[in-house]
């Protein structure tokens, strides 16, 4: 039987591994750790990095929290009686210095509400400038991780990511997507241990999928105009996280730790009234690729 301790220990080790890998690649920035406790039960390790050679701001967070099920969670899980919940996972967002290096987000989590338990999560890439070669590398890496467990996972979870990471009021995707999944329960011949092994594969794919993109793009030259575009794209990122992101809502509605929840926001961002990129520019090319249904594995 899969225990909470086994799941927590993996997430703690994953946080350690990712932080070491990012610090090594950055070469300057170091993660600062903030240990915290939640009055209702549990706590976590928030780790923040800032002012690095590559990473302007980032966070890699671990949490394991518990308490009475809030009403919205009981409704989502179909629970009518009073019940307890337990949630643990790792969540991260990296905002790079260079506009040529993409933003990345990953979340892998386990949640138990009453007698129900499931895994969820995902990983997605938000380039300020979309380089098609990089998008193909990223998606093929995720497809390989998925295919080792179930060939149906990648197409299903890729579509789920396209639909989830979509800024409806802008009619554009947040970036080039990735994979997203939720409510992965034990069903038919698939055990909860099988689901856990898949989630571990997703977590372990982070460094191999992201570090090569940093290495490839971190030394590219860029202009002040490129930096201004980066700020505009960060603004879109903020809009999604504050309006649509379920993890943000879950944290705030369960009396989560506000600083840890909002660490996903960039250090700076901007909004311009009806900004229109020049025809034929790299900025316009990026906007034209912010749409659902692109097969980046071809």
Integer Cα distance of 90 and 10 in angstroms: 10
Integer Cα distance of 16 and 23 in angstroms: 11
Rounded to 5°, the CA angle 242-245-249 comes to 80
Rounded to 5°, the CA angle 125-243-238 comes to 50
Integer Cα distance of 49 and 143 in angstroms: 29
Residue pair 93/46 in contact (Cβ under 8 Å)? The answer is no
Rounded to 5°, the CA angle 189-195-197 comes to 115
Residue pair 102/125 in contact (Cβ under 8 Å)? The answer is yes
Single out the catalytic residue among 95, 105, 139, 141: 105
Integer Cα distance of 171 and 166 in angstroms: 7
Find tokens 């671990």 and name the residue: 62
Query: Is 105 in the active site?
Result: yes
**Catalytic sites, residue numbers:** 105
């Amino acid at each position: 039987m899969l225990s909470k301790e086994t799941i927590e220990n993996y997430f703690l080790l994953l946080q350690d591994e990712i932080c070491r890998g990012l610090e090594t690649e950055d070469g300057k920035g170091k993660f600062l750790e903030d240990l915290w406790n939640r009055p209702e039960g549990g706590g976590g390790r928030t780790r923040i990095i800032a002012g690095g050679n590559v990473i302007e701001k980032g966070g890699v967070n671990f949490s394991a929290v518990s308490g009475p099920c809030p009403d919205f969670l009981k409704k989502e899980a179909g629970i009518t009686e009073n019940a307890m919940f337990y949630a643990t996972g790792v969540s991260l967002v990296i905002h790079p210095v260079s506009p040529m290096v993409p933003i990345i987000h990953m979340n892998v989590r386990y949640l138990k509400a009453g007698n129900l338990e499931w895994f969820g999560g995902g990983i997605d890439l938000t380039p300020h400038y979309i380089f098609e070669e990089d998008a193909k590398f990223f998606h093929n890496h995720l497809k390989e991780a998925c295919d080792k467990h179930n060939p149906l996972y990648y197409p299903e979870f890729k579509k789920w990511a396209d639909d989830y990471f979509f800024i409806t009021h802008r009619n554009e995707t947040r970036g080039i997507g990735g994979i997203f999944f939720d409510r992965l329960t034990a069903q038919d011949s698939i055990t909860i241990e099988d689901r856990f092994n898949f989630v571990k594969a997703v977590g372990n794919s982070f460094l191999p999928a992201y570090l090569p993109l940093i290495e490839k793009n971190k030394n590219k030259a860029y202009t002040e105009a490129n930096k201004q575009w980066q700020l505009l794209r960060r603004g879109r990122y903020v809009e999604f996280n504050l309006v649509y992101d379920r993890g943000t809502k879950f944290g705030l509605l369960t009396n989560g730790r506000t600083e840890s929840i909002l660490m996903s926001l960039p250090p700076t961002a901007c909004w311009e009234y009806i900004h229109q990129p020049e025809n034929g520019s790299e900025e316009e090319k990026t906007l034209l690729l912010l749409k659902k249904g692109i097969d980046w594995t071809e």
